[in-house]
Amino acid sequence: MKNRFVGKITVIFPDGYIEECLVKERADKGRNHFIDVLQENVATILKQCPDGNVKVTYQGDFSREIQDGLLEVDEKRR
């Protein structure tokens, strides 16, 4: 997509259910805004499964930074 940051969050729950969340933000809002929005979305998803037995994957722009952010979100949950 032109002038957009795009990422796909995939969550696999313990019962085998797969949830996908596609996040698109305008590039002019900035990279940090996009990363913050993704972290908020992952935190919201993880709150729905309090036992923590979910697998979260990410594909898209800024994969390295997002992976580090997902680790931060996971540490805050514990």
Q: Report the predicted TM-score, pTM, of the whole model to 2 decimal places.
A: 0.72
CA atoms of 42 and 16, how far apart (whole Å): 18
pLDDT value of position 52: 66
CA atoms of 61 and 31, how far apart (whole Å): 9
CA atoms of 35 and 23, how far apart (whole Å): 10
**Residue 46 confidence (pLDDT) above 80:** no
Average model confidence (pLDDT) for the chain?
80
Report phi then psi at 21, rounded to 5. Answer: -130, 120
State both tokens at 54.
Answer: 């979910």
Provide the number of structural domains found in the chain: 1
Residue 44's domain comprises 4-77
The single-letter code of the amino acid at 55 is K
